[in-house]
Amino acid sequence: MIRVALLFGGRSSEHSISCATAAGVLSAIDRDRFEVVPIGITRTGAWTLQPDDPGLFSLRAELPEVVDNGTRVRPPEAADSRAFTLVAADGAVSELGDIDVVFPILHGRFGEDGTVQGQLELLELPYVGNGVLASSLAMDKHMTKTVLVSAGIEVAPWVPLTPARWAGQREALEPRIRELGLPVFVKPSRAGSSVGVTKVADWDQLDAAVERAFAEDTTVLVEAAIVGREVECAVLEGRDGAEPRVSVAGEIVVTGREFYDFEAKYLDPDAAQLICPASLDEAQLREMQRVAAHAFEAIGGAGLARVDFFLTQDGFVVNEINTMPGFTPISMFPSCWQASGLSYPELITELIELGLAARR
């Protein structure tokens, strides 16, 4: 039986969403093929052994989180071992045994951004998903846009800010920002789930929006709002060097809110509809799938990604690439694959097999 270390939680602002993803995976993974070792990372970064119980981590009125139960999980000490060690709350040390593959379902910084992937690379532990470069690149919206533009892929115009540039070069930056036109979105460069994002409809709101975004990251984007349908598709790495596989499209229809913010995504079930498959004609779907595969390859993607678009009157504009998308059974990534003929349990198996076969 293949032993899978499921890493979830973490230090980012998306800690609870990672826990919800863990609940989905724990509830659906093929127990005849895989033995799961649930390793919850606390908000302060402690690796703990958690119960194999999906109910503890599912989304509910109170957002789930990894509770520090006093245990500590230690990864192997060197690259010639796959043995994990458990230190109990009372200090007793025992072996957790060898781990065949790590499944890091961490969202946001300190997990989805290449940091954990780098640790796993150092130890030569097989893992699911994107490598160090693609993970760190896609986590940074400014760098992602820069790479996509160089690959000939359309993105929304933007102006990057840092605290030093905003304080010292504001007079030069403001005209560039105003050229974007209203409304604009102000967002942290390295955060997800719309944390720290503000829609600015009046320039008087800009300072507060920038300050809010700087609370999440030291680089902030002021981005032109794009008018169009919000559509997404899911990407899987091709087998044995084949082209990436791309799902049918899904669509987000927001009702009663300014945009698809954190509350609309996770807390208010009436704020948005997730429609899959989306209503696209054959030519539109082919073009969307082509651009999604191109974007995936442009960042050096591996394993999986979700590519988010705006469908405008002039065509597709890539909003962002998510290298560890939401992965609950009702999230867009698995929903798109289910509509494409791959069930949620089969998708989990496929990702683990890709991780085991990866040669990074």
CB 233 within 8 A of CB 318: no
Q: In Å, what is the CA distance from 50 to each residue of 3, 20, 31, 223?
A: 15, 14, 17, 40
Question: Three-state DSSP class for 335?
Answer: helix
Distance of CA 232 to the CA centre of its chain: 13
> What are the structure tokens assigned to 82, written together?
């796959």
> What are the structure tokens assigned to 356, written together?
């085991």
Task: Quote the CA–CA distance of 69 and 267 in Å, as a whole number.
Answer: 27
CB 273 within 8 A of CB 345: no
Backbone angles phi, psi at 162, to 5 degrees: -125, 160
| Residue 145: DSSP 8-state | H
Active site residues per annotation: 14, 193, 266, 306, 308, 320, 322, 326
Residue 84 has a CB neighbour count (10 Å cut-off) of 22
Q: Name the residue type at position 245.
A: R
Q: Name the residue type at position 134.
A: A
Distance of CA 230 to the CA centre of its chain: 17
CB 270 within 8 A of CB 254: no
Alpha helix positions (H), 9-108 = 15-28
> What are the structure tokens assigned to 122, written together?
């150092």
Per-residue b or e along 178-207, where b marks 16 or more CB atoms closer than 10 Å to that residue's CB: eebeeebbbbbbbbbbbbbbbbbeeeebbe
